[in-house]
Amino acid sequence: MFLELGSHRLDLTTPQLMGVLNITPDSFSDGGVHLDPEAALARARVMVGEGAGLIDVGGESTRPGADRVDERTEIDRVVPVIARLSRELAVPVSIDTSKPAVMQAAVAAGATLINDVRGLCTPDALETAAALGVSVCLMHMQGEPASMQDAPQYADVVGQVEAWLLERVRAARAAGIPAGRIVLDPGFGFGKTLAHNLALFAALPRLAAHGYPVLAGVSRKRMIGELTGQPVGARVVGSAVAAALAAARGARILRVHDVAATRDALAVMTGLTRQT
């Protein structure tokens, strides 16, 4: 399985690590650290050296309780960084946004994957992504970040998330986005309790069975904190274990902050479960 990302062809036969690079003052784990493009570039270089196969650049935090930022601010944060990363790194760059204007500016600067936590549901987002001709990641979220963790409710979380993702696939394909350019993501922690996250995690093989690469983003999230009792800064081991398990359950792209730890977790899991 391959994903076309501009001049790059991402081989998903083995799981790929997507390194998180937030150019925000308030992201829940790396907020404020990469606002300077030089610092962002240096961090991206480290992640690529550690084994990241792509870098996901975001200019708006979507942590629970986060407020929206305007499109000018988001563009000003991400475009200079994307331009430099796509010129200077050997890996593809994705843009984590829901805003059509940011998608356009980011792709013009070199991004080749649109990673939208709102599944291209914002007005004009679907048409914009289709016209840009890049690959897309469609993620599920219940509600909006400002209030999504207040009281998330589902009658059947797996069935509902799966049906919603498949509906978004139909919409994306109808808009002209080819099947081979679509990635799906159940959206861990986005309007979900721990029980909902655990049910979705167990259902990763079912979600992967639809034939679209599945992206899993559990890195340093509250669910890891709930399982380990650790604060954000001490969730590296829990996150790496979760990412390796997600890969074992069929996830093909792992969105992570701690690339080296996840790479090692994957290597050990692969080595120890190889058939002899």
Q: Rule CB under 6 A: choose which of 75, 139, 165, 204 binds ligand HH2.
A: 139
Q: Which residue has the tokens 């593809």?
A: 92
CB atoms within 10 A of CB 10: 22
**From 192, 221, 222, 235, active-site residue:** 221
Write down the least CB distance from residue 274 to ligand HH2, Å. 28
270 binds ligand HH2 (CB under 6 A): no
96 binds ligand HH2 (CB under 6 A): yes
CB atoms within 10 A of CB 222: 20
**Nearer to ligand HH2 by C-beta: 100 or 187?**
187
Residue 255 bears catalytic tag: yes
Half-sphere exposure of 138 (CA within 13 A, CB side): 30
34 binds ligand HH2 (CB under 6 A): no
**Nearer to ligand HH2 by C-beta: 66 or 269?**
66
Q: Segment contacting ligand HH2 (CB under 6 A): 18-26, 80-88, 160-168, 202-210?
A: 18-26
93 binds ligand HH2 (CB under 6 A): no
**Nearer to ligand HH2 by C-beta: 24 or 128?**
24
Q: Compute how many residues bind ligand HH2; rule: CB under 6 A.
A: 21
22 binds ligand HH2 (CB under 6 A): yes
Q: Segment contacting ligand HH2 (CB under 6 A): 80-88, 181-189, 200-208, 235-243?
A: 181-189
Q: How far is CA 23 from the centre of its chain?
A: 15
182 binds ligand HH2 (CB under 6 A): no
Name the region of 125 (left: φ>0; alpha: ψ -120 to 50; beta: rest): alpha
Containing H/E element for 111?
Answer: none
CB atoms within 10 A of CB 9: 11
Those residues with Cβ within 8 angstroms of residue 51's Cβ, 6 or more apart along the chain or in another chain: 17, 259, 260, 263
Q: How far is CA 139 from the centre of its chain?
A: 8
Relative to beta strand 8-11, strand 54-58 is unpaired
Among candidates 94, 73, 129, which has minimal Cα distance to 255? 94
Residue type, 11: D
**Nearer to ligand HH2 by C-beta: 231 or 271?**
231
CB atoms within 10 A of CB 26: 14
Residue 77 bears catalytic tag: no
Touching ligand HH2, residues 72-91 (CB under 6 A): none
| Interacting residues with ligand HH2 (CB under 6 A) | 20, 22, 24, 27-29, 58, 61-63, 96, 115, 117, 137, 139, 185, 187-188, 215, 217, 255
Catalytic positions, please?
221, 255
